[in-house]
Amino acid sequence: YRKAAASTGLPTFLLAGPSGGGKTAFTTLTERGTVVTTHTSIAPLQIEALLPDPHVPASSHYRSPGDPAFERSRRFIIIDTPGHGKLRNYATSALAAPKNVCGIVFVVDAAAIDEEAGLNEAAEYLHDVLLSLQKRHTNAKTSKGPKDIPVLIAANKMDLFTALPASAIKSKLEKAIGAVRNNRAKALRDAGSKLTGEDDVDEEKEWLGEGGEGSFEFDQMRQVGTNIDVVGGNVSQGKNVGDVAGWWAWMGEHL
Ligand code: GTP
Ligand code: MG
């Protein structure tokens, strides 16, 4: 994406998630208020938008519409990234240096989560996003720690009858991320013992969430400054605009 646009200093939401989830559809809906035909993204897309009515930025709760500071606070940037497995470096490099990033919107297809392949793909990608947020927090040099970055799991395509409800998406993803975490740790141990003949690799910093034998829960990410919400929505409804009010409300809370 263009460097010039990136330096506006506006708060930025980074969109990530598997291919086909609806990131570009949501980006264009937020920018233009209409549903357009999308194609799988091969490069990131950066747009500037205004938080749509009636949503109010949290920073402006006590300001009135028409106040220039209120209008300014509604402006933000969305960076839409490609979800294809080979193109995720766009999202991960933005995560490595998250300048002005005030939130991550991880878009998933709520119907695809009901199938094992779709669930595992989303869980692996989300695991890696959360692990880089955790590392960013753990590696921070300042005593205050870096700015908190919240994550919205936008469970899209709720118009499909096969879509799972947000509560099921949450528990399925937590469980699948727990399995990814175990597999990664085992792979590290195997690789480590081959190298050193021992199994004392520094696994700790590659382990997402709390240590121990317990299961992974999104709430564990609070300790590293990341609050996670799962909210259902649908960008489209047939050829018409669907309902993503819950996502815009979440974005407003973080503006
Ligand atoms: P990549 O660019 O490959 O990472 O995918 P993406 O996340 O940008 O997905 P995109 O926005 O291109 O949407 C993928 C497909 O899902 C498109 O055919 C959209 O029309 C469709 N789609 C998006 N939102 C919805 C929705 O709410 N309901 C339904 N039924 N289809 C949707
Ligand atoms: Mg796209």
- Taking residues 194-220, what's their average pLDDT? 78
Q: Which residues pair with 16 in a beta bridge?
A: 106
Give the position, in ligand 1's atom list, of the atom nearest the Cα of 39: 12
* Cα–Cα distance list, 124 to 50, 93, 100, 117, 238 (Å): 32, 17, 25, 11, 30
Work out the average pLDDT over 209-219: 89
User: Which residues make up the environment of ion ligand 2, defined by Cβ < 5 Å?
Assistant: 23-24, 41
- What is the average per-residue pLDDT within 155-181? 97
Interface ipTM: 0.99
Interval 206-212 mean pLDDT? 87
pLDDT at 212 over 80: no
**CB of 84 shorter than 6 A to ligand 1:** yes
Spatial neighbors of 59 by CB under 8 A, at least 6 apart, are 73, 255
Name which of 1-10, 80-89, 154-163, 180-189 the model is least confident about: 1-10
Q: How confident is the model at residue 65 (pLDDT cuts 50, 70, 90)?
A: confident
Q: Which of 20-24, 199-203, 215-219 has the lowest mean pLDDT?
A: 199-203
List the single range of 39-43, 94-98, 177-181, 201-205 with lowest mean pLDDT.
Answer: 201-205
2 has pLDDT over 70? no
Three-class SS state of 16: strand
Phi, psi of 65 (to 5 degrees): -55, 140
Q: What is the value of pTM for the model shown? A: 0.93
Q: Which two tokens stand for residue 255?
A: 């503006």
What is the SS3 assignment for 117? helix
Ligand 1 contacts CB of residue 88 (under 6 A): no
Q: Where residue 8 falls among pLDDT bands split at 50, 70, 90?
A: confident
Torsion angle, alpha carbons of 60, 49, 128, 84, to 10: 170
83 or 206, higher pLDDT? 83
Q: What are the tokens at 24?
A: 């570009």
Average pLDDT over residues 143-162: 91
- In the chain, the DSSP E strands lie at 12-16, 45-50, 75-80, 101-109, 151-156, 228-232, 234-237, 240-243
Whether 3 has a pLDDT exceeding 80, the answer reads no
Length of the chain: 255
State whether the Cα torsion 224-138-173-228 is positive or negative: positive
Ligand with minimal distance to 243 CA: 1
Question: Strand 151-156 and strand 101-109: pairing?
Answer: parallel
Instruction: State in Å: Cα 195 to ligand 1 middle.
Output: 44
Percent pLDDT > 90 in the chain is: 68
Q: Give the whole-angstrom CA distance, residue 242 versus residue 255.
A: 23
Which residues on adjacent β-strands are paired with residue 108?
155
Q: How far apart are CA 186 and CA 206, in angstroms?
A: 11
CA of 165 to the centre of ligand 2 (A): 23
Q: Per-residue pLDDT averaged across 52-60, rounded?
A: 90
Residue 24 CB less than 6 A away from ligand 1: yes
Neighbouring CB atoms inside 10 A of 225's CB total: 17
Quick one: DSSP state of residue 156? Answer: E
Q: Identify the residue with better confidence: 63 or 58.
A: 58
Handedness of CA 33, 230, 13, 52 (dihedral sign): positive
